[in-house]
Structure 1
Amino acid sequence: MLVPKLRVARPTNDLPALLRFYRDGLGLSVLYAFENHDGFDGVMLGHAQAPYHLEFTAQAGHTVELRPNPEQLLVFYIPERAEWQLAVARMQQHGFAPVAAYNPYWDQLGHTFADPDGYHIVLQNADWQF
């Protein structure tokens, strides 16, 4: 059986800032990028063999109304402590400081970071049990 792939797509007003956060800070790879496709620029980020990727798009001449909510999270489970510590350190080396999680559960085993649009990601030092 083929496993479906998940794409999480979101518009932004600042594609270069999101690239710096997700590519440089979080360590995702650029899987595909496009310019002026029917007026949109975009980038897809992830890991080549992962069953998910993130897509960010920007439309020339259009401002997106961003509506981040502190409970709207992307959670990355990193079970190996050394790998998790490296991921947190990479975020901090690129100038992204952890923020307090709205739900204190995420502060027990993880660190939350706000991307340039105000949306939160969590680097969770745990194995996903589901």
Structure 2
Amino acid sequence: MTLPTLRIARPTDSIARLLPFYRDGLGLSVLGQFEDHAGFDGIMLGQPGAPFHLEFTHQRSHTVGRAPTQDNLLIWYLPQHETWQAAVARMRRQGFEPVPSRNPYWDASGCTFEDPDGYRVVLQCGQWPPAVS
């Protein structure tokens, strides 16, 4: 069975400001990019061969502003504790410090980081689906 590919697309005021967070901090690869496609610039990031990627676009002469709430989250489930620790350490080495999660659930087994646009990524030390208790 072939899995569908999930693309999450979001506008930004500055692709250049987001790139270090997602590429250097989270460790995603640049999968593709474009400039001035009908007035839009964009970049796709992900892991080669993975069935998902993130797309960030910027429409020239248009302002989108910051995230509407602190609860706009992308959750990365990292089941091995060592892998999770390494991911958190990489974010910190790149200059990104954790922020308290708006929902305290994510602070129990995770670490939340805020990108330059105010959107948040949770590095969750756990497996999906989570064990039901």
> For this structure pair, what is the TM-score category when the shorter chain's length is used for normalisation?
over 0.9
Cα distance, 1:2 vs structure 2 = 2.0
Q: In 1, are the aligned partners of 2:44 and 2:53 still within 8 Å (CA)?
A: yes
Distance (Å, rounded) in 2 between the aligned partners of 1:68 and 1:46 = 24
Q: Which residue of 2 aligns with 1:93?
A: 93
Distance (Å, rounded) in 2 between the aligned partners of 1:74 and 1:13 = 19
Q: Which residue of 1 aligns with 2:105?
A: 105
1:51 aligned onto 2:38: no
Letter of the structure 2 residue corresponding to residue 57 of structure 1? T
Cα distance, 1:72 vs structure 2 = 1.7
What's the secondary structure of 2:103's corresponding residue? coil
Distance (Å, rounded) in 1 between the aligned partners of 2:118 and 2:68 = 6
Cα distance, 1:63 vs structure 2 = 1.1
Q: Which residue of 1 aligns with 2:116?
A: 116
1:23 aligned onto 2:41: no
Q: In 1, are the aligned partners of 2:12 and 2:57 still within 8 Å (CA)?
A: yes
Q: Report sequence identity in percent.
A: 58
Unaligned 5+ segments in structure 1 are none
Q: In 2, are the aligned partners of 1:8 and 1:54 still within 8 Å (CA)?
A: yes
Cα distance, 1:14 vs structure 2 = 1.1
Unaligned 5+ segments in structure 2 are none
Q: 60-69 or 19-28: which moved more?
A: 60-69
Q: How does 1:76-91 map to 2 (within 5 A)?
A: 76-91=76-91
Q: What is the count of residue pairs matched by the alignment?
A: 130
Distance (Å, rounded) in 1 between the aligned partners of 2:25 and 2:101 = 19
Q: In 1, are the aligned partners of 2:14 and 2:58 still within 8 Å (CA)?
A: yes
Q: Which residue of 1 aligns with 2:38?
A: 38
Letter of the structure 2 residue corresponding to residue 76 of structure 1? W
Q: What are the superposed Cα offsets for residues 1-30 of structure 1, whole Å, 9 maximum, x if unpaired?
A: 321111000000011111010001110000
Q: What are the superposed Cα offsets for residues 32-65 of structure 1, whole Å, 9 maximum, x if unpaired?
A: 0111111111100000121110000011111114
